[in-house]
Structure 1
Amino acid sequence: MSRSLSAAIKKKIALRAKYRCEYCLLPEHLSFYAFHIEHIRSIKHGGTNELSNLAYCCPDCNYFKGTDIATFLDNDTLVRFFNPRRDDWNSHFMLEESAIHGITDIGIATVRIFKFNDVERLIFRQQLAELGFYP
């Protein structure tokens, strides 16, 4: 299967996401970098290039997620990551000032692995919030 996506498909995904990262909600126009089309379930784990498996993603979220699909919250509990095609963001996360907190196991796992609250990301979101640009 080809991994490349047409410009039309990329545009459709960006429009669907309203040009925001579907994980951390960062608006693309305020980022220093172009956003990525991310495979929710990576190709190596059987994912496809179908629209239902693609998300609009900032470079930080995409980098930290990589090809992972889940993580262990403790020694025995494997928890999948937030899926923007299936899950409601507000059901799994809450914003407290500019910090993103997981309120379910899925949210907690996603916050941890995607490093939503690394200091640089937190400071940037706080600055955007103060200017009225986040969320």
Structure 2
Amino acid sequence: MVSNYIREIVAERAKYLCEYCHSPEFINTDRFTVDHLIPQSLGGSDEVENLALCCRRCNERRYNFISGIDPETKQEVNLFNPRKQKWSEHFIWSLDCIKIVGITPIGRATCNRLDMNDERNGNGFIQKSRRLWVRAGWHPPQEDSCQESED
């Protein structure tokens, strides 16, 4: 477990957004967690460069995985790493800003592994939440834009 001081450094660096799904922390009922990019169970450290701010839903789905399957190519690839990669190079928002669309093998594998749009279980809760956030003007984050996608 990381200290509150380290957590605050990680949260400020992430602009208080989940570094995977870009949900803002202020609209969640739970404080975001600090995720180990290389899990401790696989030898990862508590060094700040190995930590990412993460909503509970992404953290639970990521678990201790560092790779996933790209549904398009069926190849195993590393999951998105916010310390080494830029979100906008791997993901876009659907035109209505409700779905995250992976645009690279890494993006697609991460969307799939983390079920970023709640499509596997069929309830779509995160899409319903995002729709409300869009109406309230809280979503998408300022640095993200919604774009046409094939989805």
Q: Normalized against structure 1, the TM-score is what?
A: 0.93
2:138 matches 1:122: no
**Unaligned segments of structure 2, at least 5 residues:** 119-123, 141-151
2:49 matches 1:52: yes
Aligned-residue CA RMSD in angstroms? 1.4
Q: How does 1:1-135 map to 2 (within 5 A)?
A: 4-73=1-70, 77-96=75-94, 97=96, 98-118=98-118, 119-135=124-140
2-side partners of 1:120 and 1:76: how far apart? 27
Structure that is richer in helix per residue: 1
2-side partners of 1:31 and 1:41: how far apart? 25
Q: Normalized against structure 2, the TM-score is what?
A: 0.83
2-side partners of 1:41 and 1:66: how far apart? 11
* SS of alignment partner, residue 79 of structure 1: strand
State the one-letter code of the partner of 1:18. Answer: K
Aligned residues: 132
**Unaligned segments of structure 1, at least 5 residues:** none
2-side partners of 1:76 and 1:65: how far apart? 19
Instruction: Note the C-alpha offset of 1:77.
Output: 2.1
State the one-letter code of the partner of 1:6. Answer: S
1-side partners of 2:3 and 2:74: how far apart? 41
Cα deviation digits, residues 74-99 of structure 1 (max 9, x gap):
69621111001011101000101210
1-side partners of 2:38 and 2:130: how far apart? 27
Determine if contact 1:116/1:122 at 8 Å carries over to the other structure.
no
* SS of alignment partner, residue 48 of structure 1: coil
2-side partners of 1:100 and 1:76: how far apart? 19
2-side partners of 1:20 and 1:133: how far apart? 12
Instruction: Note the C-alpha offset of 1:72.
Output: 2.6
